[in-house]
Amino acid sequence: MPPEPSSANRTRGGISLRWRILAGNLITCLLAMAFAVAVAWGGWGDLRKREAAARSLTAFELVMKANSLIPTERSAWFAVMTPADPASPEKLSALDKIVANTDAAIGAAKAAVRAAELPTRSIEAAEQALQQTRGAARHAVILPKPQRPANSQTAIVDGLARAVDALTTATSDGLVNLSRTGSDIENLLPAAELAQSAQSMRAINGARAAVLGLFARNQPLSAAQRVEVTELTGQVALLWKQIEQGVHNTGDAPALAGVLDQVRTTLMTEAEPRFRQVVAAAREGGPCPVSEAEWPTWVSRVLNSVLGLRDAALVFAHNANDAAIAQAQMRLTWALAALLVVLVASFVVVVAVMRQVIGPLVRLTGVTLRLADRELDVAIPDGDRKDEIGTMANALQVFKDALIAKKRADEEAARNAEAQLERGRRVNGITRDFEAVIGDIVSTVSSAATKLEGSASTLNTTADRSQTLTTAVVAASDEASTNVQSVASATEELTSSVNEISRQVQESARVAGDAVEQARRTNERVSALSQAASRIGDVVELINSIASQTNLLALNATIEAARAGDAGRGFAVVASEVKALAQQTAKATEEIHQQIMGVQAATQESVGAIREIGDTIGKLSEISSTIAAAVEEQGAATQEIARNVQLAAHGTQRVSANISDVQQGASETGSASSQVLSAAQLLATDSSRLRLEVSRFLEAVRAA
């Protein structure tokens, strides 16, 4: 990989493109590897499941085979116990070999169950049952038959039956575990179920043969034994249907169908009718169709044919599981191969991206940064490539050429700008001198125009003010003349009014005297009214006292009427009414008393008010007399005012005539000042315009 650009030229801010490309490829490769690992892990799990199913199938097989050896051991025990003599050492040695064979099979089954991680309780129960049964049986067979316990054979049958039941339970547990670990394996469970059905067929036929063997040894069967044989015969028929269905469930596999035909011939076609003959003979009490010597050999051949079907089903199940294991191993192999391919492909892709994409991008990035720093002598790499990298390199070459051309153009423009700047400096010097000269002239004219405009404005203002004042004086003079005439007329009217007022004042004095007399008489009447109200109050007090006494008498009458009982009931009613009237009278007199008190208070206030009115009218009469005297003096003063007003009217008329001349002169002065102001304003406007035009001219010269 080429070296990275220097830290000064390295792209800043965020993750670079090469790391994003590399991260994208790495993520893609990691996802592919994760998928391959998941597939491989699934294949490994599938293989482990198939191997667990194989261990379960092995445990299932060994438990069934160990269980099938117990009937053989039972026959061996019966063979030793049947003779009347004690068992010989040779027979005991042969029996020990059979027992050892059974123990070895059970031990192997127990180890297989542990390997399959299944509980061993049922197998241990079978071992315990066998040990107990064998101990008692061993003690019995070394004794003569008369000395043996009566139930010695029954004890052997029962003990071995318990062992068979325990191993059958272990077989069922193994089948359940097999259904959990190998349910998805084709034909595995049907074959295992077929093997279990064949094992059950062998056990039922063995149990039936054991019971009928007593009859073959010339021992009559009890009613319970005959019923048991009948039930076992029915179970054989049902199990045979299950066996046929089990073979069908495996798809009628040829390996199983051929064995099924052999078992059908041996068991159902040949042995079953003969078993039925033995059952019928035992029921009727006739001789056994099979001799005692032939019975063990014939039964063993029949039972072994059923075990052949069981073994064929187990082989078929192992083949199915082995095929599943082979498929799982194949899938795991392909998954591991795919994982390896993904790893190699990921490495190749990363290396290719690093060399073909990231490396050229890093080189182009470094060149671009150097061009950005104006290093125009740098060489553009990878321009001969025919892919996008080459296109980018060629575009970068065009960019470099454009930068070189721009640099040359900038240098030429700088030279032209320097020449233009020098010319501008010369023009600026000329315009600056011209602007200074013209500026002084324009400033002088503008200053003079401003002063002239100020003087004209002052003159115009003064003229306007003079005209305004003269106009006001004329108006005031006219108004004064008018007012003097009005005052003269008003003075004459005032004289007449003063005479009339004197007469009215005298009449008012007379009326006031009459009013004082009338107030005095009214005061006397109101005083009499107050005395009458006082007397009415005394009468009201008397009535109130009478009402109180009446109320007291009515109360006493009510008490006396209550003492009189029924005779005084009417009097009590009257006394109650009198009491009510007395209370109403007291209430009414109280209200009258309150009203009279109000009248007395109002009367006292009226007396005081009338007395004050009389005093006021007296004072008014005195004032009217004083006014009458003053009015006479006012009449004389008014006549003197009328004479002076006439003289003032003649003076205001002469002032009005003189002010008119002054107003005309002020008007002429205002017209002249207005003309001077207009000329000064025009001069100021022209000077400003001249200054503006000179500025525009100078700006145009500078711009050129």
pLDDT per residue over 331-361, tens digit each?
A: 778 878 877 887 888 777 777 777 777 777 7
Report the chain's mean pLDDT, rounded to a whole number: 75
Q: What percent of the chain has pLDDT over 90?
A: 5
pLDDT recorded at residue 481: 61
**Burial letters for 553-582: b for 16+ Cβ neighbours within 10 Å, e otherwise?**
ebeebbeebeeeeeebeeebeebeebbeeb
Position 441 pLDDT exceeds 80 = no
pLDDT recorded at residue 5: 45
At 551-596, the pLDDT tens digits run 776 677 677 667 766 666 666 676 676 667 667 767 766 776 677 6
pLDDT recorded at residue 2: 44
How many CB atoms sit inside 10 A of residue 37's CB?
A: 16
| pLDDT band at residue 326 using 50, 70 and 90 as cut-offs | confident
CB distance 593 to 498 below 8 Å? no
pLDDT recorded at residue 11: 47
Non-local (6+) Cβ contacts of 201 within 8 A are: 236, 239, 240, 243, 267, 306, 309
Highest mean pLDDT range out of 48-62, 103-117, 397-411, 622-636? 103-117
By mean pLDDT, which of 89-98, 142-151, 635-644 is the weakest?
635-644
pLDDT recorded at residue 287: 86
Position 637 pLDDT exceeds 70 = no
At 468-515, the pLDDT tens digits run 755 765 565 566 567 656 656 765 665 676 577 667 657 766 765 676
Position 273 pLDDT exceeds 80 = yes
Angle at CA 182, nearest 5°, toward 176 and 186?
125
Rounded mean pLDDT, 133-149: 83
Rounded mean pLDDT, 19-34: 72
**Burial letters for 644-655: b for 16+ Cβ neighbours within 10 Å, e otherwise?**
ebeebbeebeee
Cα 553 from Cα 478, distance rounded (Å):
101
What are the DSSP calls for 405-470, one per residue?
HHHHHHHHHHHHHHHHHHHHHHHHHHHHHHHHHHHHHHHHHHHHHHHHHHHHHHHHHHHHHHHHHH
Highest mean pLDDT range out of 288-292, 354-358, 668-672? 288-292
What letter would DSSP give residue 164? H
pLDDT recorded at residue 243: 92
Position 124 pLDDT exceeds 60 = yes
pLDDT recorded at residue 8: 40
Rounded mean pLDDT, 24-50: 71
| pLDDT band at residue 541 using 50, 70 and 90 as cut-offs | confident
Instruction: Give 258 or 463, the one with higher predicted confidence.
Output: 258
Instruction: Give 36 or 280, the one with higher predicted confidence.
Output: 280
pLDDT recorded at residue 101: 93
Instruction: Give 90 or 670, the one with higher predicted confidence.
Output: 90
Cα 140 from Cα 152, distance rounded (Å):
7
- Closest CA relative to residue 122, chosen from 50, 172, 54: 172
**Domains observed in the chain:** 19-345 (no CATH), 393-703 (1.10.287.950)
| pLDDT band at residue 9 using 50, 70 and 90 as cut-offs | very low
Radius of gyration of the chain from its Cα atoms, rounded to whole angstroms: 78
Instruction: Give 701 or 541, the one with higher predicted confidence.
Output: 541
At 450-463, the pLDDT tens digits run 765 666 566 567 55
Cα 162 from Cα 67, distance rounded (Å):
11
| pLDDT band at residue 614 using 50, 70 and 90 as cut-offs | low
